[in-house]
Amino acid sequence: MQDIKKKFWLEKFDCFTISGKDARKFLNGITTCNILNSENKIIKTCWLTPNGVLRSLIEINFLEKTLEVIILVGNTHEIIDYFNQIIFPADDVLLGEPFSINRIQEIDESSPWRTYQPMFFKREDKEFEIYKDKLNLMSSRDLKIWKVNQAIPSLDMEINGKNNPLELGLKDLIDFNKGCYLGQETMSKIKNVSSLKQEIRIWQSFDSNLNLDVEDKSLYINSAKDISVGKITSILKLDSQIKGLAMIKRKYLEEGSYYYSEIFGKIIINKSVGSIFL
């Protein structure tokens, strides 16, 4: 019997398989973690553009004969199409058709979301239902709040064709010592010169007089709007809670600082426990 005090994250994700003797080598060349020498059965990694911009956050499940690629955040068909385009005729690599997978992971409020390893269920069968019923599953509402508090990036919001994984607090998903991979040159350059220009932060509004007709998502040093310190990337409005994620220019970062939004008034920003920076 599971401890009722523990909380669990249950969500469906797209997944596809990669098989063949070159499968690990293939994935190692296009993702940021070391696929070849990993001792973990499940690892989290990033797929980047050649310029080091984050395109997808994925999880690799090492099975006996295949690798399962779980798309935590990203466009599944875009990923599969790209992977198919770069498989050489001599490569022993085969991609399977995408399918949905149930992913269950323990979570807590004070640890990064990468702390606990997940379990996967391909079918919603009797075994899945029995296991699920024993767990204290987070509600949809609480899961949305937890994801913001963890600064988990979302497609078309934080993963928007501009931000790199180091700015998004995903430093622990980058292996700076492995061989070549897509975006490696940019990642190494940023690390070697410590040239992060911005970092992701959680913001929260305490202003009841919201100016929702305004489209300006910039954040300013004060209400005079003379200095822009960053930009809101996502917004979550649940009951009395109004919060979200923002990219803040590094030179203006001070933990607990108040800034100004024309939409949300006075806001406070905080670092997420899920973020690890250079």
Q: Specify whether 137 is located in the same domain as 202.
A: no
> pLDDT per residue over 230-275, tens digit each?
999 999 998 888 999 999 999 999 766 789 999 999 999 999 999 9
Instruction: Kindly indicate the confidence band of residue 1, based on its pLDDT and cuts at 50, 70 and 90.
Output: very low
- Domain boundary (128, 149, 170) is at 149
Q: Is residue 182 domain-resident?
A: no
Model confidence pLDDT, tens digit, residues 156-180: 999 999 999 999 999 999 999 998 9
Quick one: pLDDT at residue 193? 87
Same domain, 134 and 263: no
What is the model's pLDDT at position 259?
94
Shared-domain flag, residues 96 and 19: yes
Same domain? 16 vs 88: yes
What pLDDT does 213 receive?
83
pLDDT, tens digit (0-9, with 9 covering 90-100), for 192-241: 987 899 999 999 998 877 887 888 999 999 999 999 999 999 999 988 88
**Which of 38, 92, 77, 78 lies closest to 60, judged by CA?**
38
CATH for 250: 2.40.30.110
Mean pLDDT of the chain: 94
Are 74 and 47 in contact by the 8 Å Cβ rule? The answer is yes
pLDDT tens per residue, range 56-73: 999 999 999 999 999 999
Residues 123 and 254 in one domain: no
Are 205 and 110 in the same domain? Answer: no
Please answer whether residues 33 and 181 qualify as being in contact, where contact means their C-beta atoms are separated by less than 8 angstroms: no
Same domain? For 230 and 133 the reply is: no
Flag whether 24 is in a domain: yes
Domain co-membership, 233 together with 110: no
Is residue 228 domain-resident?
Answer: yes
Tally of structural domains, the chain: 2
CATH code of the domain containing 103: 3.30.1360.120
Are residues 24 and 103 both part of a single domain?
yes
178 in a structural domain: no
Q: Is 213 found in the same domain as 133?
A: no
Instruction: Provide the domain limits for residue 24.
Output: 7-149
Task: Report the C-alpha gap between 205 and 264 in whole angstroms.
Answer: 6
The whole-number average pLDDT for the span 126-137 is 94
Q: What Rg, from alpha-carbon coordinates, does the chain have? A: 20
Task: Confirm whether 174 is domain-assigned.
Answer: no
Task: Tell which residue, 274, 276, 224, has the closest CA to residue 115.
Answer: 274
What mean pLDDT do residues 182-193 have? 94
